[in-house]
Amino acid sequence: MGDWSFFLRDTGGDETYLHWMMTAWGWTLSVAALSLIVALVVGSIMGILRTTPSKTLVFVGNAWTELFRNIPLLVQIFLWYHVIPSIFLSLRAVPSFVLVVFALGFFTSARIAEQVKAGILSLPKGQRYAGLAMGLTLPQTYRYVLLPMAYRIIIPPLTSESMNIIKNTSVAFAVSIAELTMFAMQAQEETSRGIEIYLAVTALYFVSAFAVNRVAHFIEVRVQVPGMIGSKS
Amino acid sequence: MQLDFAFFNWALIQSFILKGLLFSVELTIIAMLGGVALGTVLALMRLSGKPWLVTPSAIYVNTLRSIPLVMVILWFFLLIPLLIGRPLGTDISSIITFTVFEAAYYSEIMRAGIQSVPKGQVGAGYAVGMTYAQCMKLIVLPQAFRNMLPVLLTQTIILFQDTSLVYAIGAYDLLKGFEIAGKNYNRPIEAYLIAAIVYFIICFSLSMLVRQLQTKIAIVR
């Protein structure tokens, strides 16, 4: 089935195709991991803002979500890569890898904000009032009462979002990040062994997404609250 | 740097943008109709309870949902010419890819929609002597379609955004139109900005419409 020996051939750059592909996989995973951190932090803040009593804060959170949800990821990546550095000249020196991390992170933050909001709103209102009635401040109520439950509830959608982020790193090919899709396109042109290369790359995407799924499942089981919907005990 | 939007006029829209917009919309509509049709078949297979129908449908849906769309676009662009023995244009290749790909996502939406109809209604259908096909056509699917319409349309907005990924094989869509216009007039920054605004206006208005529809359906139910 196919000719796989070219993977051990030199690319002309002092490394084999296999080595190149593994480096590319590393880029894919790094972009995904760092974007996920950005997305979780920003998405949590925006999601929480959307559930506060302040109308201004709710508006900020809503505007953020709509803005980053209604522009295609590829266009957002172009905005970060081409537009922002030429408007803010001080950002010229920032490597494109960082720009892509922010693009993918902010894009995903809009979806995570939606889930965080849904998680908080799924809790009975009484929990918020109980916290406030006991004399906790609003931030304390969030920190000790609402968020610990809300985050546990939204682990399944957060899992699929983490798997999506790995898939979405493929869009970074458009600004020449040396990730898996970029490797697939370039190696295909150089070797004309498209099927073998695409199969290998697709398999690596599968493995990555599956690994994320297992890690998330492990976390879900570890943090589950006995008696809560979906828990086994 | 000074932004200058003066280059953006009707002549430019006519010669660069409209062609791209037309293809993006065409791709969205064909992939939606084809995807919903194929997706319905896949969902019915998945729910049929017969292993020789369930397994292929599950493999189809799960495989496509775990591969990045860009890779799927590249796969089809590579494979279709090998299968039919002659090169295929980027346009047709995109249309086939998006129909096949979106079917996987639509089928999951259809499956949830069909499962939202209480089982007792199917039982009632059988009790008055309807066949499986009649039950589906007359009882389940009309209600399922209605329940899932908002999600289905939201997926279509995502589909419209995703059409920009045909960039990978160089098809001429809305984004490409802006990019070429930007290059020709040496105003790439402004062109990308306007592209973002145009996509935002289209997608935001559509999602507002979906939200309105959602409240309307909710009241009737």
User: Does the structure show a pLDDT above 70 at A62?
Assistant: yes
Residue A7: other Cβ atoms inside 10 A = 18
Which of A69, A71, A198 minimises the CB distance to B75? A198
Taking only residues 201 to 220 of chain A, the set having a beta carbon closer than 8 angstroms to any beta carbon of chain B reads: 201-202, 205-206, 209
Q: What confidence score (pLDDT) does residue B49 get? A: 83
Contact with chain A for residue B154, Cβ under 8 A:
no
Residue A139: the pLDDT is: 93
Determine contact: B175 vs chain A, CB below 8 A: yes
Give dist(CA B221, CA B207) in Å, integer. 21
Going from the C-alpha of A144 to that of each of A112, A132, A140, A141, the distances in angstroms are 20, 11, 6, 6
Contact A151, A216 (CB under 8 A): no
pTM of model > 0.80: yes
pLDDT on residue B85: 83
Contact assessment for residue B181 and residue B23, using Cβ atoms and an 8 Å cutoff: no
Q: What confidence score (pLDDT) does residue A1 get?
A: 60
Q: Which of B71, B203, B207 sits opposite A170 (nearest CB)?
A: B71
pLDDT at A94 (0 to 100):
86
Q: What pLDDT does A233 receive?
A: 43
Q: In B163-187, where does DSSP find H-type helix?
A: 174-184
**Residue pair B42/B103 in contact by the 8 Å Cβ criterion:** yes
Distance, in angstroms, between A105 CA and closest chain B CA?
A: 17
Contact assignment for B196 to A75 by CB distance below 8 Å: yes
Q: What would the mean pLDDT of A91-115 be, rounded to a whole number?
A: 92
> Is the CB of A181 less than 8 angstroms away from the CB of B71?
yes
pLDDT of residue A202: 93
Cα–chain center distance at B127: 37
Using the 8-state DSSP alphabet, how is residue A10 labeled? B
Q: Is A26 on the interface with B (CB under 8 A)?
A: no
Assess contact for B110 and B39: CB atoms under 8 A: yes
Distance of CA A120 to the CA centre of its chain: 20
pLDDT of the residue at A222: 86
pLDDT digits (tens, 9 = 90+) for B29-81: 999 999 999 999 999 899 888 899 999 999 999 899 889 999 999 999 988 88
A161-192, pLDDT tens digit by residue? 999 999 999 999 988 888 899 999 888 888 88
Q: Is B104 touching A (CB cutoff 8 A)?
A: no
> Which residues does chain B have within 8 Å of residue A70's beta carbon, measured at their own beta carbons?
161, 199-200, 203-204, 207
Percentage above 70 pLDDT, chain A: 96
